[in-house]
Amino acid sequence: MNASRKSHSPSDDLLRGELTELLPPPPVPELEPEREHALRYAVLRDALDAGPATRPRAPRAVRGPLPRLTWIAAPVAACALVAGVVVLAPGEAPAGPSGRVTAGESTAPGAEQVLSRAALAAATAPAPDARPQDFVYVRSLVAHAGRSAAGGVAALPPAHRREVWLSADGSRGGLLREAGAADSVLSPSLPVYELEHRGASPRPTTLETAPPSVANPTHAYVATLPTEPEALLRLIREETRGDGGDADQRAFRAIGTLLAETWAPPKVTSALYEAAARIPGVTVLPSAKDAAGREGVAVARTADGEQTQWIFDRATSGFLGERTVLTETTAAGKKGTVLGVSAVLVKAAVARTGEQPGGAGA
C-alpha cells in the first residue's frame, strides 16, 4: 500500500515566516573573559606557527608603546644598558617620576590577566627587521637615584634621554649615548695588557667577552630563545643563577631587561610575558607612570626591600617602561623612595652607530 504525501503549498512558507518573526532565535551565551582570551590566544599562536607569510612586514622603525629596567652589563665600558625601576602603590594617585609612593598589596585584576593581554598584543606585533650587520637602536628616557660620596639618602634627578646602538650579531662595537655624559663605546672585546714574563713590557691585547646569554644578549641570541614559556623560564633561571639573591626576582628582572633593551621576535616576546606570569609573587598595580609621564597599569614583584614594576599601556597592552621603589626604609631612603624610572620610546634597526631611525646621522 502506497502512503500518500501531502503537497507543499506557498501558504506553508508564509506561515513559517510569520512564526519566525514571532519567535526570534534563542540568544547565544557570551564567553567568559578568560575563555575568550584563551581562544583568541590559541588562534594567534596558530597563525604565528603558520609562518612569516601570515604576518605583516615590519616597518623600519617601531614607535610608541614598546617594550624594563634591570641592568644589562655592557660588553665593555662599565655602563648599564638599562634604567632603574619603581612602583606605585595601589589605591593612591600615581606619583610623578621623581615622587614617592607607598608600597602595599595589589588589587584586582590579576597580574596573570595583565601579562596575558600583553602576550596577545606582542604576538601580533610587527617582527624586527634587523639584519646581522645592522644595529638595534633603542631610545628611552631614564632617571636613576644617586647618593653623594658622603652617603645620605638617594635623590632621583629629572629623566634624561638615553640612546643605545647594539650590534645585531654581537660582532661589532656598539654605542651608548646619554645626555650630560660622554659617549661610551660598547665593544665586543675587552682591552687588556699581557705580560709574557716578569720584567717584560706590557703588550696591549684584547680579551673576548663571555658568549651571548640572557645576561649578555645580542639580537641574534634573543631570536633563538625558546618560545615555550616553561622552557624559557628554566633557561632564564639557569643563566641568572650566578647573580645570587631571590631566584624568582632574578628571573623577573632578567625578563624585564630583555623586554626593554632588546628587540625580540613576536613569539619570543609573547613567551617572555607568559614566562613572567608563571613566576610566583607577581602582583598588579592599578595605576603607574613611566619616565615620560604616561599612565598605565603595572605588574610588580618585591624582593630584598625593593619593588620592580613593569608599566603597560591600558589600551594596547604595550610595554611602556619600568620603575623601582623602596618598600622598606634603608640608608638609601624612606619606604616609598623611587630609585629609578624609565620609558621606552623607540626601537628600530639602523645601519651604523650614531644613526637615527629614518637615516639621520649622529
**Dist CA 253 CA 282 (whole Å):** 12
Q: Which of 94-98, 171-175, 180-184, 301-305 has the lowest mean pLDDT?
A: 94-98
Planar angle of CA 290, 291, 293, nearest 5 degrees: 65
Which pLDDT does position 40 carry in this prediction?
54
**What is the distance in angstroms between the CA of the first residue and the CA of the last residue of the chain?**
98
* pLDDT higher than 50, residue 97: no
**Dist CA 135 CA 241 (whole Å):** 29
Give me the mean pLDDT over the 193-204 stretch.
58
Give me the mean pLDDT over the 97-102 stretch.
42
* pLDDT higher than 90, residue 242: no
* pLDDT higher than 80, residue 59: no
Which pLDDT does position 17 carry in this prediction?
61
Which pLDDT does position 332 carry in this prediction?
87
Give me the mean pLDDT over the 89-109 stretch.
38
**Dist CA 159 CA 102 (whole Å):** 21
User: Under a CB-based contact definition with an 8 Å cutoff, are residues 353 and 175 in contact?
Assistant: yes
Give me the mean pLDDT over the 228-255 stretch.
92
Which pLDDT does position 331 carry in this prediction?
87
- Higher pLDDT: 140 or 49? It is 140
Which pLDDT does position 187 carry in this prediction?
75
User: Under a CB-based contact definition with an 8 Å cutoff, are residues 69 and 290 in contact?
Assistant: no
Which pLDDT does position 39 carry in this prediction?
53
Grid coordinates given for 131: 639584519
- Higher pLDDT: 193 or 172? It is 172
Is 243 in a helix, a strand, or coil? helix
Percent of the chain, pLDDT > 70?
62
* pLDDT higher than 90, residue 47: no
pTM of the model: 0.69
Which pLDDT does position 90 carry in this prediction?
31
- Higher pLDDT: 74 or 203? It is 203
What's the pLDDT band for 268 if we cut at 50, 70, 90? Answer: very high
- Higher pLDDT: 178 or 193? It is 178
Which pLDDT does position 32 carry in this prediction?
54
Which pLDDT does position 302 carry in this prediction?
94
pLDDT, tens digit, 9 for 90 and up, residues 63-95? 333 233 433 333 333 333 333 333 223 333 334
| Strands, E assignment, 33-181 | 61-63, 135-144, 146-148, 151-155, 160-167, 174-178
pLDDT, tens digit, 9 for 90 and up, residues 224-241? 999 999 999 999 999 998
pLDDT, tens digit, 9 for 90 and up, residues 311-328? 999 999 999 999 999 999
